[in-house]
Amino acid sequence: MTIDATLKASISVSQAGSNAFGGPTWSGAFEFLKNFANGVAADQADIAYVAERTVTTGANDDIDLAGVLADALGTTLTMAKLVAMLLINRQKDGTANTTNLTIGLGTNPFLGFLGGTVPTIGPITPGGVFMVSNPALAGLGSITGASNDILRVANSAGATNKYLIALLARSA
């Protein structure tokens, strides 16, 4: 399977009021754009997983990164290094969620970008977004089956949550 992927993050701001630039408004913008070529070296990825996933109220969605997930074409994915992750706490059709999500912990957790002994990121509130990437050869961290391969997404109590997740990885 060959992939071509682009990671993009941007923010633009327009603020009314007098400013050092002399106008009645000030505008600014930042944009980050990273293209990943197909492969297993730095600035490359050869595995993509994109899905809407469901986690019931007060439960965990334990995503096994080593040999269990299937891509959009049905190919089983065995990730060796995670290089980018995007999680959006809303449904694919735009419907809002009502519960918070937390990333981390669990049995055989993928630590990678989380670090520490009991690492978590969150809460990611309804409508919230979490994105992280490292295009270097080491990526966000190595994945080792049965010891460092579970990416847990925990849902707070109150309602079932459907969220969006995209992962870019390397097979070696």
Q: Has residue 130 been placed in a domain?
A: yes
Q: Has residue 62 been placed in a domain?
A: yes
Q: Has residue 151 been placed in a domain?
A: yes
Q: Has residue 92 been placed in a domain?
A: yes
Q: Which residue has the higher pLDDT, 110 or 91?
A: 91
43 to 4, 36, 69: CA distances (angstroms)? 11, 5, 23
Distance CA 67, CA 59 (A): 23
Q: Has residue 75 been placed in a domain?
A: yes
Q: Has residue 115 been placed in a domain?
A: yes
Query: How much of the chain, in percent, has pLDDT values that exceed 70?
Result: 97
Q: What is the DSSP string of 106-141?
A: SSSB--TTT-SSS-EEEEE-TT-EEEEE--STTTTE
Mean pLDDT of the chain: 93
Q: What total number of domains does the chain contain? A: 1
pLDDT value of residue 23: 74
Residue 24 pLDDT > 90: no
Partner residues linked to 130 by β-bridges = 87
Token pair for 13 = 């701001």
pLDDT value of residue 118: 73
Q: Has residue 155 been placed in a domain?
A: yes
Range of the domain at 52: 40-170
Q: Has residue 29 been placed in a domain?
A: no
Q: What is the pLDDT of residues 29-74, one digit of tens each?
A: 999 999 999 999 999 999 999 999 999 999 999 999 998 999 989 9
CATH classification at residue 163:
2.60.120
